[in-house]
Each structure stands twice: as structure tokens, then as C-alpha cells.
Amino acid sequence: MKSAALNHYRDLLWRLGMTTSFRHFSLRELRAFCIAAELGSFRAAADRLFLTASAVSHQIKSLEETLGSQLFERNSRSLDLTDSGHELFGDIQPLIEDFDTVIGRHTRATKASRLRISVQPFFASELFVPRLADFRDAHPDIDITVDTSDESTEKHPSNADVSIRIFKSAPPDLAAHQLFPLRLIPAGSPKFYDKIELRAGKVVSEFPLILHESRPKSWRQWERSSGITLPRGASVTRMDSMIAVVRAAERSLGAALVPVGLSDAWFHADTLVPLFEHELQTQETYFIVCRPEDADLPHVAAFTQWVLQEFGSRP
């Protein structure tokens, strides 16, 4: 904040009757006052500030005591500014906005060197992490934190700057770029594959299933779309992550539906083999997403462009 603005601030507070030192003044109370004055309600101000109405009321009362001046006329139906309140709001509101602008500018400048990325675990292990060194080499000034702890879809974690997630459609409240659709193909170990018996479009050998808990109907969907009939009453092993699903299939626990493209390393190493050629075309797509206000930040834009070049329409 410029020194002229600070001097104006001091003059204003003394003019309103402030009798304590400037350094003891509460910015929190003044911000609460401005929002309450703007909205005409302690309750509405509390919602915006994520406080209780009584907490806002207490802050306003404390500010009035500090200034020695009543700022609101309180009655059961409305909350109106006094003359002193109008004067304070007119002078303080622009300064609060200036303060927020300055803080926001410095916050964005700090954030520019730190990039928090959330990636679903299997995407991270099979595609993202093996290529991450290329991005680091091109942008050594960006500090990167990668979180792979969250398997959930249709979500952009609040603590992430950018995330790579599966969505059924582009989320309207986020800046989103499509990467590639999710397609699933039956896979198993070579040992499992050798035991499969297929007659007239029907699997007649034992065919235990490995199922990802987030897609409980996926095998039935694959069966209907492929025209291949699976044995009824087959045993089912349920897993809560795709990495666990693939590991179980590798160890011959059964047949698994694994993502096309993301599972290439397993197929190339012959630890997994496709059991059938037919792929399940899901209604889901991988997207890279971020909050709209972050999309133009240099580090976010650079990362997004790199991801699109590396993984866009990959499989």
C-alpha cells in the first residue's frame, strides 16, 4: 500500500475518534465491516467470511469501540449505516480492495514457482512419472509437488493447482482440456490366458473376475458389448485401485479390465496379455483441469501445454 494511502488511513481513523495506536488496528474487523456494509447483513457477511453471524457482530462491535463511533443502525428488519459508517465505508472500501490486489499479486508471484499436481495413481505410475523429468528439464525454476493418493474421479482436489482426472464430461466450473477417452480391455497373465476355453462365443472354462470397486458393472457392460458370454457364478475379487487390479491379474488371480494405453508397459513386458480383442468404450475421459482463475498463471499454462503435447489423444 502506498504511503499516501497509509497516511490517509491514519487521518481517517483519527477523524472518526480512534484513540489507540494505528498498529493496534484490526484489518479483519475493517474487512468484516466493509462486507457487512456491502451486503446489509451480518449473516450474509458471515457466509462470505466463513464465520458465524455472532462472530461478525462481535468484530463490528469491537471496531465501533476502537473508533468510538457507531457504524450501524441495528433493527429487526434491516442493517443500515450511520453517517459515520457511510463515511468510513466510502474511504475504507477502496483501500481494502487495493490491499487485496497487492496481496493477490504477491501470492500469485509466490505460487508461480510452486506447482501442486494431483494425478490418479495408475495414470501417474504408468504415464506421468516416467515422463516428468522432461518437464523438469524444461522448467527447472518450478518446484513440483505430485499427489497420487486420491483415486477418485469427477474431482479437482482443493489443495491442487492442476489435476489429471477422469470425468464423464468437461466440468463446467473448471478450466478443462480433454486428453483421451477411457477404454478398457480384458487382460490376464499368460498362464491365465492359456487356460481359457471359448466355444461358440461362450467362455466354458473357469473365469474368475477381478473388479475395480468404482466400476462394479464394467464386466457386464463388456460382456454385452462384446457378444461373448462369461460363466455365471464366477468368483469375483474386488480391488479399490487400478494398480491393485493390475497386480492381481499379473499374479493370475483372474481376468481384469485394464485401461488401454496406460497398460502398455505391462503388455510389452508380457506380464499381462490381452485376453480378447474387444475393448469396452466407456463414457469417461481423462482431462487436465484447474481453477479458471489459475489457468493463465505461467507455471500452470506451461504444465498444461506440456501435458497436452505428451498425452493428448494418446491411445
Mean model confidence pLDDT for the chain: 87
Least confident of 10-14, 148-152, 242-246, 309-313: 10-14
The H-or-E segment that residue 287 falls in is: strand 280-290
**pLDDT tens-digit series, residues 116-168:** 999 999 999 999 999 999 999 999 989 999 998 878 888 898 889 999 999 99
Mean pLDDT over 296-304 rounds to 94
pLDDT at 251: 96
Cell of 315: 491411445
Q: What is the 3-state secondary structure (H, E, C) of 231-269?
A: CCCCCEEEECCHHHHHHHHHCCCCEEEEECCCCHHHHHC
Q: Are 254 and 209 in contact (CB under 8 A)?
A: yes
pLDDT at 38: 87
pLDDT at 297: 92
Burial class from Cβ neighbours inside 10 Å (0-12, 13-18, 19+) for residue 220 reads exposed
CA angle 288, 152, 162 (to 5 degrees): 30
pLDDT at 128: 95
Eight-class DSSP state of 52: -
pLDDT at 22: 45
Residue 258 pLDDT level (bands cut at 50, 70, 90): very high
Cell of 57: 457482530
CA-to-CA distance for 281 and 278, rounded, in angstroms?
A: 9
23 versus 36: the higher-pLDDT residue is 36
Eight-class DSSP state of 230: P
49 versus 281: the higher-pLDDT residue is 281
Distances from the Cα of 244 to the Cαs of 127, 147, 210, 238, 249, in angstroms?
17, 18, 10, 9, 9
Residue 301 pLDDT level (bands cut at 50, 70, 90): very high
Cell of 260: 488401454
pLDDT at 15: 47
pLDDT at 13: 47
**pLDDT tens-digit series, residues 160-175:** 999 999 999 999 999 9
The pLDDT > 70 percentage for the chain reads 87
pLDDT at 48: 73
Of all residues in the chain, what percent are helix, strand and coil, respectively (each to 5)? 45, 20, 35
Mean pLDDT over 178-196 rounds to 97
Domains, the chain, ordered by start: 3-111 (1.10.10.10), 112-315 (3.40.190.290)
* Whether residue 279 has pLDDT greater than 50: yes
238 versus 158: the higher-pLDDT residue is 238
pLDDT at 315: 56
Q: What distance lies between CA 116 and its chain's CA centroid?
A: 10
* Whether residue 99 has pLDDT greater than 50: yes
* Whether residue 76 has pLDDT greater than 80: no
CA angle 289, 292, 295 (to 5 degrees): 70
* Whether residue 9 has pLDDT greater than 70: no
Cell of 270: 508380457
Eight-class DSSP state of 229: B
Least confident of 44-48, 92-96, 179-183: 44-48
**pLDDT tens-digit series, residues 47-75:** 777 778 888 888 999 888 888 889 998 87
CA-to-CA distance for 79 and 41, rounded, in angstroms?
A: 6
pLDDT at 108: 55
